Amino acid sequence: MVILDQELRRRAGMISGAIEELLPVVHPRELYSAGRHLVDAGGKRLRPCMLLLAAEAVGGDPKGVVPAAVSIELVHNFTLIHDDIMDNAATRRGRPAVHVKWDEAGAILAGDTLYSKAFEILTASEAGPEDMVASVKMLARTCASICEGQWLDMEFERREEVTEAEYLEMVEKKTAVLYGAAGWIGSRLVGGSDEEVEGLERFGRLVGIAFQIQDDVLDLTAPAEVLGKPRGGDLAEGKKTLIMIDAISKGVDIPIFSKKNATTEEIEAALTILRASGSIDYARKRAVRLVEEGKDALAVIPDSEAKRLLMKLSDYMISRSY
């Protein structure tokens, strides 16, 4: 993964540099500082990197679509700001959540600003008018889908039972469609064929579902200092993750499920039960199958260094430890 990490860092550097240019902190400075708070907190920029790699995989010049990559990153951060408000989360990426530092109203405005700027910045990419209009429509559909997924996620918290199929639909809408859009927009803007564009969209969407499943696993297994937030938050919030859906189907009892004030000791005891049930391993295996399906979708893409990097990226998304 050393080569992949180097390549991701190089592309992430391109994106970070473009953010400085395309989203400067201007008047009113606090609004744009709030919007940049999480954007500047680091991260591997996986979604925008996927967009650049998709462009390269179909023979395009990634430099011309860097603004589109920035727009994908801004949409992602807009969702994080609003998610933290809805979840009443105190921290994100080891920093105070935006609504904690700037209050809830300020965070809503910061998120809305990122959402709006994403569309403006997308249009700064080098592309013909037809491809640009199609990409703007794709991003708009993606944002609506993300909202649908978030609504389903909240609805599931109020329901006693959620099926695996319902969970996968929610994850596809809330998380995976943005990866799919990255593959679609990156390849469409540089003139990829319809077959290539659809293949890269499917690849992104399937590995995006696997990415979220891995996130659910990490919420229960990664140390708090790595996560940047307390471990086991999904249990305390009563999230119907694939892990919990499988455990419930097996009759496993987790006493602290939905217990907001669960202690560290109670959470660790619950994790021991879940490991023994095989539900965490079940989720991991499901993620692996999804990645393999995603790789199959790349059969329409000619062999290249960019395609190989996309394959390695998909493996990384389910093997990462944070």
Under a CB-based contact definition with an 8 Å cutoff, are residues 41 and 92 in contact? yes
pLDDT in tens, 97-148: 999 999 999 999 999 999 999 999 999 999 999 999 999 999 999 999 999 9
Q: What is the pLDDT of residue 53?
A: 98
207-228 pLDDT tens trace: 999 999 999 999 888 877 776 6
Maximum Cα–Cα distance for the chain, whole Å? 58
- Residue 228 pLDDT: 62
Secondary structure letter of residue 92 according to DSSP: E
Q: What is the model's pTM?
A: 0.94
Q: Which of 93, 113, 31, 44 is nearest to 316 (CA)?
A: 44
pLDDT tens for 255-307 read: 878 777 778 888 888 888 988 999 999 999 999 999 999 999 999 999 999 99
Q: Are 208 and 178 in contact (CB under 8 A)?
A: yes
Q: What is the mean pLDDT of residues 25-34?
A: 97
CA distances from 39 to 220, 246, 287 (A): 25, 35, 27
Give burial (CB, 10 Å; 0-12/13-18/19+) of 313. buried
| Region class of 238: left (phi > 0), else alpha (psi between -120 and 50), else beta | left
Residues 162, 156: contact at Cβ < 8 Å? yes
Predicted pLDDT at 235: 82
In the chain, where are the structural domains located?
A: 2-319
CA dihedral of residues 20, 43, 304, 58 (deg, nearest 10): -50
- Tell me what pLDDT residue 227 has: 67
d(CA 198, CA 232): 36
- The answer to whether domain 2-319 has CATH 1.10.600.10 is yes
Strands of the chain, DSSP E: 91-92, 95-96
**Residue 301 DSSP code:** S
Residue 1 has what pLDDT? 65
Return the pLDDT at 43.
Answer: 77
Q: For all residues of the chain together, what is the average pLDDT? A: 93
**∠ CA(190), CA(293), CA(195), 5° rounding?**
30
Best-predicted range by mean pLDDT (70-79, 87-96, 253-262, 312-321): 70-79
Q: How far is CA 101 from CA 87, 110, 119, in A?
A: 16, 12, 26
> What value does the mean pLDDT take over residues 179-197?
98
